[in-house]
Amino acid sequence: MTEKYRFRLMFEWGGGCIWAGDDATRSTYGVGPIEDSLPLAGETRGKLAEMTAWHDLSLNWEYPPDPGPWDAHEYERFEATAIAMRDHLQQELGDRFAIVYERLGVYEGPAENQ
């Protein structure tokens, strides 16, 4: 039986979006972001780069502990696009790969003045 690799689609600040999801995958692909090690189409790589740049817009870079500039609608748009990307990756990579999307979290709105 062919080994199944497990990946996490998970966006990180400043880059990286596909990570090993278990020890067996890590031993084959290493640690850190591994999207460059995968047999992905150029169009898919470009879309992942666009999504990474889009994700980075959600952070308040001046003071990261504060809420970012996205509203609930923007979080929902990103989540829907990320889920579609997970499905696309699964189709492109095939059944030897299992891809799990790790959500950004729940939109909590702007911090209230205390």
- Mean local confidence (pLDDT), 46-60: 95
Q: What's the one-letter identity of residue 41?
A: A
CA distances to 14, 74, 80, 91 from 104, in Å: 15, 12, 11, 22
**Rounded distance between C-alpha atoms, residue 33 and residue 87, angstroms:** 19
**Tens-digit pLDDT profile for residues 24-41:** 999 999 999 999 999 999
Average pLDDT over all residues of the chain: 90
pLDDT at 97: 94
Instruction: Pull the structure tokens for residue 112.
Output: 């209230």
pTM of the predicted model as reported, rounded to 2 decimal places? 0.86
Do residues 82 and 52 lie in contact, with contact meaning Cβ atoms separated by under 8 Å?
no
Q: Which amino acid is at 43?
A: E
Q: How many residues does the chain have?
A: 114
Confidence (pLDDT) at 56? 95
| Per-domain residue ranges of the chain | 5-101
Q: What is the pLDDT of residue 104?
A: 76
